[in-house]
Structure formats: structure tokens, C-alpha cells
Structure 1
Amino acid sequence: MENFSLDFTVAIPTYNGENRLPKVLERLQSQTGVENIKWEVIVIDNNSSDKTAEVIREYQKSWNHDFPLKYFLERKQGITYARLRAICEAKGQLIGFIDDDILPTSDWVKEAVIFGKAHPHAGAWGGQIHGDFEIDPPEKFARIKSFLAIRERGSQPHLYDPNNLSLPPGAALVFRQEAWQKSIPMELIFKGRLGKLKLAGDDFELLLHLHKAGWEIWYNPAMHTYHQIPQWRLERNYLVTLARGCGLCVCQLRFINTNNWEKPVVFIKIFLGNLRRILHHLSNIRDNIK
């Protein structure tokens, strides 16, 4: 097992993030309570076609902090490849993944490290992700907010329930390097939201492998981030595509920790469960079906 030289790595996978990255980097430059933490920030450019590389180079020129800012280009498209590259490059015992549209509060790094030290059997943990909306969300938005990686599960830490696919999103998620190295294969099923189907499941797949290996997955309410949600992410076409991508990956995810002889039963249960939900939904909206 490699001895990592740092306590913590913040890894930012990005694709065409030239306009989003500055806000994230400014938040990371303002972290508090990190005087006794050895950490770094690494940006994994997932083959961007904009000026992402130039933006990071400009920041590096004037970077006057105790923690380094590093840049890596990963040409294989898909967030899974970006995360795998981050794992290879990271020097931290813990690695916190932050999407390029996620803004951490000033104590996010500190709280992530504190939790990791207090929970040595935790393989991964996520915190509270709040919505930072460009426009007011629609009526009954609470029913679908989880599709946009919003997680507000109260003020008490608790274990997630991987057996029922109750898991934290990868938008702001901390992994223990030891757990990743020992539990997660280099070849993964889901590569990210690519192609027309926009399949999700890339973050849950990682966590299910951790769970299968016996690691705990936690909710840490002391870690706060804000997900920037522009208007177009609340439009019908985007939300339908998003929900479809999340739904299509469920069966394959459940197969990860399922014995071969159980898979036909799992498939039938998923099919019947979804059919029941569709009929229940149609019954509720029968007077407004359009």
C-alpha cells in the first residue's frame, strides 16, 4: 500500500469549465481551519475544448498558498476516467471530489478531514448539498431535487443504505484512498453521462464496490456545499433526460452486489416496482395527464 504524503486532496473533474472553475478555486483559497492539514488541489481536465487549461495556468502563476494547485489532462472522455486519473495523481490519504459547479463552504476541507479521522471504517462520505438556483425552482421541486444532487438529510450523521441504493451523489464526495485502492476495480461499467442516453450510475457504482468490500458509507452534515443550478437545468427536456438516465442504470447497479442466480428475481422485482410506480403516478395525474 502506497504511503500518501498528504492528508487531503481536492480533485475537480471538469469539462469545459473555464467559466465555472474560478468560483470553485476562490472558495478553496478561502478555506479555514486548515493550518495543520497538508493538502492539495488538482484539476482533471476531461478533454475540454474551451480555455480551461489557460484558466488554470493563470491561477498557477499567482498561486500564493501553502497548498499546491495542479493540472492534469485526461483525454478519455467521461467522468469515470477523470476520477480514475485523479486517484492516480492524488497524494492525499483522503480525496474529496468536487464537481466544477459545486461551491464548498469555507470549512469543507476541515470538516471532511475531521470526519475521516473520527470514522476509520468509512470508505466514503458526503455532506449536505444545497441548491443555488438561478431562478426559483418549480412547485413540488422537492420530489425531484435528488436528481440534481441536492442532499439535505438533517443535522445528524448516519450511515447510508447501499442495499436500497440510498447513497450520496458524486458531486461532492470524499473517498478514503485505501478503501478505493483495495475495493474499486480499474474497469468500471458506467463512464459518465455520455451519448444520447446520458446514463447515470458512475458515482453509485464506485460506492457499491466499497460496500461490497465491507466499507461504511456515511452522511456527514457538517460538510456543506452549494450546487449552482442554472435555469436550463430546470427545463422539462433536461429533467426528463436526467431522470431517464438515472432510471436506466438501476438494474445494472443492483446486479453489482447480486449473485448470478438472484439476478432474474432482481430484474422482475425492478420491472414490477417501476410498473407499480407508473400506474400510481398516472392515477394521481389522470385529470392533468398532458
Structure 2
Amino acid sequence: MLDFTVAIPTYNGAERLPQVLEKVRSQIQTESLKWEVIVIDNNSSDNTEEIIENYQETWPRSIPLRYWFEKKQGLAFARQRAIQEARGTYVAFLDDDNLPNSDWVKSAHSFAEQHPHAGAISGQIHAQFEVEPPADFKRIQAFLAIREHGSQPFLFKPQDLRLPPGAGLVIRKQAWIESVPKNPGVIGNTGQSLARGDDYEPLLYMHKEGWEIWYNPDMHLDHVIPHWRLEKDYLFSLARCCGLATCKLLMINAKPWQKPWLITRTILGNSHRIVRHLWKYKGQLKTDLIPAFEYQFYWASLNSPFLLFSGSKTKS
């Protein structure tokens, strides 16, 4: 058993992976750790495998770099495969557009060792924008996994769906294996198709089994945001997918008697938000991107209870 695994799920990430791998290879103060890096190729059609083979030729032998191909499309399947193949006590997920600071691995491992009841740990995620974001973008930046919660550690609140994203998330492998179902209920991104909720689902199952979810302010990484992720079509699709996952996620930790109330609260709460939003931004929803995004999210959240009865997985 190793101390730590850095797991990089990727889909057609041949152009992005080199920058991530260079950041991982440049980690400092890890001499006392036994750790590895694994890349989970989630059914890519580009030359991702070739890129990894080239890196393996010059990669430090003390830090194994391993490659696995996961044919089942979907980020949840890629992460599940990473847990299966990882040999570390802790498994740290980096997306193929996440660039960790040079002390990221050391900070993550140290914090995890100091918090034995932590099932998952997240840090600060800063944006590296390709183009200038729209005005008031900070209001919705959390939807793009940009999280800057300050300098003090704290416990997240899973019961309110106040949870970190999967990007840069460090998992205690034991907690995942003991808590998370092998067949995900929320699949996540499948190729070019957006889906949301897959980040939160494993964390909610861990919380259900008594594991803590922590914020570690000393873990820093940059999230590369290309221009197309700031465009209307992408953002609206993201808002809808996040909203549609709301009620299904709330059900994970709900007792049977709580479920009718949660469904009612979701419908009434989002109905109120929509009415208030329409009143506040009359006539602006066609021209102002940020309020329009929020409206799409509220409307999808309002409709999320009806997916419970459709029998389908949450995806776009």
C-alpha cells in the first residue's frame, strides 16, 4: 500500500495533459512519501495513450506513472475505476485542466493525516481564465468549480448540499470503498454531454456513513477555464444540469419520512426564487447573462423532483 495516489481522469485530454503532468512531476517535499500517478483514459478518441507512454519513458521511477483505459463513458465511471486501481491510502482527483501548486500533494497528505475522520478533503481552486469573464461572474463561479473559501479550515455541510467539487478532491480510499455504491446513480459528463451531481453523490454517501468532509485552505490549484465555458449555451446547459440533480441528491441522506417534505420544500422554495428573480430582473433575463443563468438553475431545480419518478439517471 502506498501513501498517496494522484488520479487524473481524462477524456480527449492529449493537449491538456502535459501541463498537468508537469505540475504533478514538480511536486516538492514529497521525499518521505510513497506515491504514484494514474491516468484514467475515459474512452478517448485522441492520442492520450501515446502521450502517457512518452511521459512514462522519462518519468521518475520512484513515482510510478500508470495508465488505464475505462470504456464506460462518464466521469463517475472514470473515478470509480481510479479508486479500483489506486494503491494509495488517499486518492487525489485532478481533472485534466487542474494545475496544482508545487506543494499540493504534501499539503493534502499532511492535512489528511491530521484529520483521521476525514473521508474527503478539498482546497482552494482559483480560475485561470482564457478570456475575461462577464460582469458579476463571481455570483456563479462555484458552478465552474472555482472555490476560494478563505484561510481557515472548516467542515462542509452535506445536509444543505454545501459540498466541494470533484476537481482537486482528496478521498480516503477506505471511506469511498465502505460508503459509495459501485453503480453510480449520477453518471456525470459523457463525452461532449454535460451532467452534474456526480461530484456530490459520493460525498453524500460518505457523510451518510459518518465520514467528515473538510476544507483545507493550504491546498491550492488553478482551474483552466477556456473561452467556450463562458459562453451562453455552455453555461445554460450547466445551470440546467446542476438544477436537475438537486432533488435526487437531497434524497440520498433523507429518511423516508423526510422525503415528501424535501420534495415540497424544493418545489415551493424554487417557485419563490423564480418569482422573486423575475420581479428583480424584469426585462433583463434576455440580455444579462448572470441573472439568466441563475433563472435557468432555479427553474431546473424546481423540476428536479419530477425526475425521481422517471426512473432515469441524471444527465443532459
TM-score, normalising length: structure 2: 0.88
Q: Which amino acid in 2 is paired with 1:85?
A: R
CA contact (8 A) 2:42 2:78 kept: yes
Distance 1:271 1:80, change over 3 A: same
Q: Which amino acid in 1 is paired with 2:218?
A: A
CA contact (8 A) 2:73 2:191 kept: no
Could you say what secondary structure the match of 2:71 adopts?
coil
Distance 1:195 1:47, change over 3 A: closer
Which stretches in structure 2 are left out of the alignment for 5+ residues? 287-316
Distance 1:56 1:213, change over 3 A: same
CA contact (8 A) 1:8 1:39 kept: yes
* CA-CA distance at 1:287 after TM superposition: 4.1
The 5 A counterparts of 1:223-242 are: 223-242=219-238
The 5 A counterparts of 1:88-237 are: 88-194=84-190, 198-237=194-233
Alignment match, 1:57: 53
CA contact (8 A) 1:126 1:219 kept: yes
Could you say what secondary structure the match of 1:286 adopts?
coil
* CA-CA distance at 1:63 after TM superposition: 1.4
* CA-CA distance at 1:199 after TM superposition: 2.6
Distance 1:54 1:263, change over 3 A: same
Alignment match, 1:11: 7
Q: Which amino acid in 2 is paired with 1:111?
A: S
Q: Does 1:258 align with 2:258?
A: no
* CA-CA distance at 1:282 after TM superposition: 1.0
1:196-228 per-position Cα deviation (integer Å, ceiling 9, x unaligned) = 973310010000000000000000000001000
Q: Which amino acid in 2 is paired with 1:174?
A: V
Could you say what secondary structure the match of 1:202 adopts?
coil
Q: Which one of the candidate residues 63, 70, 74 is aligned to 1:74?
A: 70
Q: Does 1:288 align with 2:284?
A: yes
Distance 1:197 1:76, change over 3 A: closer
CA contact (8 A) 1:197 1:245 kept: no
**Paired residue total:** 286
1:56-90 per-position Cα deviation (integer Å, ceiling 9, x unaligned) = 01111121342010000000111111111111110
Between stretches 158-167 and 58-67, larger displacement belongs to 58-67
TM-score, normalising length: structure 1: 0.96
Q: Which amino acid in 1 is paired with 2:117?
A: H
* CA-CA distance at 1:195 after TM superposition: 8.3
CA contact (8 A) 2:77 2:184 kept: no
Q: Which one of the candidate residues 258, 270, 275 is aligned to 2:271?
A: 275
CA contact (8 A) 1:131 1:150 kept: yes
1:12-66 per-position Cα deviation (integer Å, ceiling 9, x unaligned) = 0000000000000000110001010110000000010001011001111121342
Could you say what secondary structure the match of 2:169 adopts?
strand
CA contact (8 A) 1:197 1:241 kept: no
1:229-287 per-position Cα deviation (integer Å, ceiling 9, x unaligned) = 01110011110000110000000000001122321211110011111111111111114
Q: Which amino acid in 1 is paired with 2:213?
A: I
Which stretches in structure 1 are left out of the alignment for 5+ residues? none
Q: Which amino acid in 1 is paired with 2:50?
A: E
Q: Provide runs of 4+ in structure 1 moved above 6 Å.
A: none
For residues 101 and 196 of structure 1, what CA distance do their matches in structure 2 show?
15
* CA-CA distance at 1:187 after TM superposition: 1.6
Alignment match, 2:44: 48
For residues 103 and 195 of structure 1, what CA distance do their matches in structure 2 show?
21
For residues 282 and 267 of structure 1, what CA distance do their matches in structure 2 show?
23
Q: Which amino acid in 2 is paired with 1:153?
A: H
Query: Sequence identity, in percent?
Result: 56
Q: Which amino acid in 1 is paired with 2:278?
A: L
For residues 68 and 216 of structure 1, what CA distance do their matches in structure 2 show?
30
